[in-house]
Chain A
C-alpha cells in the first residue's frame, strides 16, 4: 500500500515537472514574439525621419521620404503638398504604357493533357509576351520539357510571334507530348527577340516551371496488383476447409 502511494506521488511529481517544462516552453514562444518586436524597434535611425518631416516632399524626394496620411488635419495638408509634385511630372493615363524597357514576359504556364496510352500524354504549355518598345518586331519561342533525371522528354522549336506591335501582348502555346509517367517534369520556354530593338541590345529570356504529374499508369497498375492480391487472399480464405482432409477412413 505504501509502495503504491509512493508511486502515485512520484507520478504526480513527474506530471508537475512536465507541466512546468511545458509552461516554460510556452513562455519561451511568447518571449520570441516580444524579442522580435524588440528587433523591429531597435532601428537606430529613428530620429532621421523626424528631421525629414520638416523638409517638404519635392518631386525628386525618395519614396520613403513622405509623411503618413493618417486622417488628421496636419497630414492631409502634407497630402496636398505631394499632389503638385506628381503634377510636375506627367503621370501616364490608364491606357498609356510607359514602363521603359523593351519586352516583358510572363512565367510558363502548363496543364497536363492525359492520354489513354500511358506512355503518351502531353503538357499544354504557354507563355505571354508583351512589347513595350516603340517598334514592331517578331520573335521565336522554344519550348521543351525535361524529366526527373534531366532527360529530354519533348521539344518544340521555332514557335513564331510575328509582328508584335508596340503595347501588344500575345500568348503563344505549344503541346509537349511524350510526358508519359515521368512524374516530376520541368517545363521551359525561351523567348528569342531580335538582337537590337530601338537601339537596345536584347538577350533571350528563359522561364521555367516545375510540374508534378500523377503517374496514373503506374498507380493504376499498382492498384490492380493490390486488388488482385486482395481477391486471391479472399478466395483462399473462403475455400479453406474447416476440417483438415485426409482423416476419413475406417479404423485400423
Chain B
C-alpha cells in the first residue's frame, strides 16, 4: 500500500522544482554616519530672576489674548444671554401693564441701571434689541441704553439712546446705513412708537432744529470708525410719526448725569474691583505653581484650569469697563 502510494507520488507530474537551500542572510552592516551627530545644545541654567520675568511675561501674554478673545468673541455671547433675559422680563411687564414710563418703576422706586425699558426694532438693519436704563459701559454690555436725563422714546422732547458699535453684539454697528425717510419702531410701556429717520450726522455737523412743543425726537448714538477702533461719534436723528406720549418724571438732569454715562466715556468707578480681580489671579497663579511642585502636574491642571479661566474672566470684565462705552 505504501509502496503504491510512493510510486504514484513519484509518477505524478512535478509542479515546481524543489527550491535550492537559501543562502543564510548576511548580517546587517550599519552605514557609517556621514558626519558625527550634533551634540544636544547645552543652555546655561536660568537664574530665578529670569524665570520670574519669563513667567510674568507668559501670564501677561495669556491675559492679553484672553482680553482680545473676551471683547471680540465672548462678549457677543454675553450680549445674547442678557438680551434673552431682558426680553423675558420686559414681556412680562408689558403684558401686566407695569413697564416703566418714567425714571421710576410701577412702585415709584428709581429704576436701577440695566432695567429693561423698551424694544427697539429696526428691520432695515436687522436690529431687535431690548433697551435698558443707563448708558455706562457696564450697562451697555446688555444692550442699547437710554440716557437717564432724557425722556423715553415717544415722549415729548428729545430721547437719547446709545449703543455699542462692535463689542457686545454691536447692536448699533450699522445704524449709519439708515437713510432719511426710513421708519422703525420702539415699543415702550406707552405702546408702539413709530419713528422716521431724519438723517445721519457726525460731531460738528449742524444739528436739526430743536423739537417744538408736542414733538418727539429720538437720537441714536454710536461710535464711528473701524470696528473696535472708534474715532468719533455718529448720530442718527429720528422724528416721531405716531402720537406723542406724555413725558414721565425724571430725577436725573444733565448736570447730575454720572460722568461714565456720557458718550464715549470710560467707567473708572469700579477700578477697585479690578484690583481685587488681579489679586485673585495672582493668588491662583501662585497656588498653581505650589501645587505643580507638591501635588503633581495632572491634578494641578484639573483644578487650576477652571480657576485660572474664572480669574481671567473677572480681570477682563473689569478691563472692558475701561474701554469707551460705545465701542
The answer to whether B214 has its CB under 8 Å from any CB of chain A is: yes
Closest residue of chain A to B253 (Cβ to Cβ) is: A45
Contact check, B149 vs A25: say whether CB atoms are below 8 A apart: no
Given contacts A15-B303, A32-B270, A36-B269, contact A63 B208 (CB under 8 A): no
Write out the residue numbers on chain A whose beta carbons fall within 8 Å of the beta carbon of B134: 36, 40
| Minimum C-beta distance from B173 to chain A (A) | 10
Contact check, A64 vs B244: say whether CB atoms are below 8 A apart: no
Contact check, A14 vs B246: say whether CB atoms are below 8 A apart: no
- Tell me the count of chain B residues lying within 8 A, CB to CB, of chain A: 90
Contact check, B314 vs A29: say whether CB atoms are below 8 A apart: yes
Write out the residue numbers on chain A whose beta carbons fall within 8 Å of the beta carbon of B29: 247
Contact check, A11 vs B295: say whether CB atoms are below 8 A apart: yes
Contact check, B151 vs A64: say whether CB atoms are below 8 A apart: yes
Contact check, B227 vs A36: say whether CB atoms are below 8 A apart: no
The answer to whether A169 has its CB under 8 Å from any CB of chain B is: yes
* Majority secondary structure, B binding face: loop
Encode A52-68 as 1/0 by CB contact (under 8 A) with B. 01000101111111111
Q: With the chains together, A218 CA to B201 CA distance in Å?
A: 36
User: Which listed residue (B177, B199, B212, B227) contacts A104, Cβ 8 A?
Assistant: B199
Given contacts A63-B157, A86-B156, contact A24 B247 (CB under 8 A): no
User: Which listed residue (B113, B273, B317) contacts A37, Cβ 8 A?
Assistant: B113
Encode A19-35 as 1/0 by CB contact (under 8 A) with B. 00110110011011101
**14 CB < 8 A contacts A-B:** A14-B291, A24-B280, A32-B138, A32-B270, A39-B269, A63-B155, A63-B156, A64-B150, A68-B104, A69-B190, A104-B199, A105-B180, A106-B177, A208-B225
Closest 10 CB pairs of A and B: A63-B157, A107-B176, A100-B209, A86-B214, A104-B199, A66-B247, A128-B179, A130-B180, A68-B102, A251-B26
Q: Which residues of chain B have a CB within 8 Å of any CB of chain A? A: 23-24, 26-29, 31, 97, 101-102, 104, 106, 110-114, 134, 136, 138-139, 148-151, 155-158, 175-181, 190, 197-200, 202, 205-206, 208-209, 212-215, 224-227, 234, 239, 241, 244-253, 256, 258, 269-270, 273, 276-277, 279-280, 283-284, 287, 290-291, 294-295, 299, 303, 307, 310-311, 314, 317
With A68-B248, A107-B175, A128-B180 given, can you name 4 additional A-B contacts, CB distance below 8 Å? A21-B284, A22-B280, A66-B156, A106-B200
